[in-house]
Amino acid sequence: MSIKSILRRWNHFWFEPVAPDNLGLCRIILYGSMFLFYVFTPWLFKSWGWHEDFALWGNVSRVFWRPVWLLATLHLPPLPTSYLLVIQSVWRLALFLSCVGLLTRVSTAVSFIFGVYLMGLPNSFGRTHHLDQLLIWAFLVMAVSRCGDAWSIDALVRKARGRTATARQDPLPSGEYTWPVHLIWVISAMIYLEAGLSKLRHSGISWVTTDMMRNYLMRAYYHVSDSEPLTSWGLFIAQSHHLAKLFAAGALMLEVGFVIALFSRRSRWVLVPGVVAMQTGIAALMGPNFYQMIMCQAMWVPWDRVVRWLAGRVDDLAESGQHRGIERAGQVAAIPEPQLPDTPKAPSTR
């Protein structure tokens, strides 16, 4: 294979011209789910939802402050609660506007910039968690992309204001609408690959063959994690050395092998639900919840096809309903009127 053909394939992967629908729908799902997540979890899930309320960090003593690299480099301090409340409210509003696609350029940029600061805050107090990095990168990609070209209020406004027929048309297919979604795929695959390779680098195959996973599972029930395990099944698994090792092997294979999903459509049917199940399993057995990462896996779904399929189903149902109606009407028309003996016919009203 020549370098030229590799580059052609490269171009096809990143910049294959497609309609803007999938990117627009991905925008709705990403920002919509995150808006709901960050607004409602502090109220709905009292035991861990407060993690998503960043304003709480405003009254924590500065003795705990160890800023992460980006906040340290930009000399961003921890702001007081009143300021954080404002920033958080603006951020949540930006998430909503990004979802509906109103002022999409500005709202996606605000979602990213304020999101970086807000998500960097907790990580600057004690320990860096890895729950939201994929989300931050997805926000950056969306902010640079033209994700507001379809399925957005901006697009509706543009069409309504369009003076020429061309201006009122949907945007033509373009590579602009491919690279953002595929870049989020690549970042997702990279994160899992690095997580898997880190395990092999620091522990080697011993990560699977020793009781490491069993120890992690048991330790989770000693209240050491950011969230409590959702179930006590981890202790059940820890009773069996072999079962725990099997889980370790499965997790490592998924992490290292997830990159295959970039190249094989078939493998996506296994690998994407696989990592979602793995991360749900971590929350159930060990506590840490990666809900933001789980939601980002929704970018693997071809939402434009899903919507087309749903629309087709609705059309089919409506059509078959019409047919049934016509048939029924036909049947009714075909039923001969019962000939009742000695019953005089009603006079016509016409």
Partner 1 sequence: MSKIGPQFFAGLLFADGVFNRKLIFGVCVLALLAVIFLNRELRAVFWGPSRVASGDASTVRPMPRRRLLAAYAVAAVIIGGSFYDFAADRETWPFSQYPMFSFIDAPPDGKFTILRLYGVTPQPSVEFPLDRNEYLEPFDNSRLQNALERNIGQQQLAIALKDCLQRYDALRASGVHQGPVLQSLRLYRVTWTPNPQASNLNAPDSREFVGEVFENGSSER
Contact positions with partner 1 (CB under 8 A) in 121-160: 122-123, 125-130, 133, 136-137, 140-141, 144
- Build a one-symbol-per-residue string for 86-125: x at contacts with partner 1 by CB under 8 A, - elsewhere: ------------------------------x--xx-xx-x
Instruction: Tally the C-alpha atoms within 13 A of residue 266's C-alpha that lie toward its C-beta.
Output: 0
- From the CB of 322, what's the least distance to partner 1, in Å? 33
From 24, 30, 31, 51, residue interacting with partner 1 (rule: CB under 8 A):
51
Q: Which stretch binds partner 1 (CB under 8 A): 29-37, 42-50, 153-161, 262-270?
A: 42-50
The smaller minimum CB distance to partner 1, of residues 183 and 272, is found at 183
Supply 23's token pair. Answer: 């990117």
Amino acid letter, 59: N
- Interface residue with partner 1 among 92, 173, 280, 307 (CB under 8 A) is 173
Supply the DSSP symbol for 164: S
In total, the chain counts a number of residues equal to 350
What SS3 class is residue 264?
coil
Enumerate residues 6+ apart whose C-beta is below 8 A from 225.
286, 287, 288
Residue 60, φ and ψ in degrees, nearest 5: -90, 140
DSSP 127: -
CB of 253 to partner 1, least distance (A): 15
Q: What is the 3-state secondary structure (H, E, C) of 177-208?
A: HCHHHHHHHHHHHHHHHHHHHHHHHHHCCHHH
- Type of residue numbered 136: I
| Binder of partner 1 out of 40, 43, 50, 263 (CB under 8 A) | 50
Contact 231, 220 (CB under 8 A): no
CA dist., res. 349 & res. 331, Å (int)? 24
> Scanning residues 67 to 86, which ones bind partner 1 (CB under 8 A)?
68-70
Find the shortest distance in angstroms from Cβ 59 to partner 1: 8
Which of residues 25 and 183 has its CB atom nearest to partner 1 in the complex? 183
Distance CA 262, CA 265 (A): 8
Do residues 290 and 283 lie in contact, with contact meaning Cβ atoms separated by under 8 Å? Answer: yes
Residues from 7 through 36 that contact partner 1 (CB under 8 A): 7-8, 11, 14-15, 17
Nearest-approach distance from CB 336 to partner 1, in angstroms: 57
Nearest to 133 by CA among 299, 300, 295, 293: 293
Q: How far apart are CA 188 and CA 267, in angstroms?
A: 15
Window contacting partner 1 (CB under 8 A); options: 41-49, 155-163, 265-273, 316-324? 41-49
**Rounded least distance, CB 126 to partner 1, Å:** 3
Nearer to partner 1, 52 or 100 (CB): 52
| Residue 162 binds partner 1, judged by CB under 8 A | no
Closer of 9 and 305 to partner 1 (Cβ): 9
Q: Which of residues 174-233 bind partner 1 (CB under 8 A)?
A: 174-176, 179-180, 183, 186-187, 190-191, 194-195, 197-199, 201-203, 206-207, 210-212, 214-216, 218-219, 221-228
Name the residue among 69, 74, 168 with its Cα closest to residue 113: 74
Comparison of 62 and 161: residue with beta carbon closer to partner 1: 62
Rank residues 50 and 269 by Cβ distance to partner 1 and give the closer one.
50
Considering only residues 222-251, where is the footprint of partner 1 by CB under 8 A?
222-228, 235-236, 238-239
Count of residues that bind partner 1 according to CB under 8 A: 85
Which of the residues 243 through 302 are near partner 1 (CB under 8 A)? 288
CB atoms within 10 A of CB 218: 17
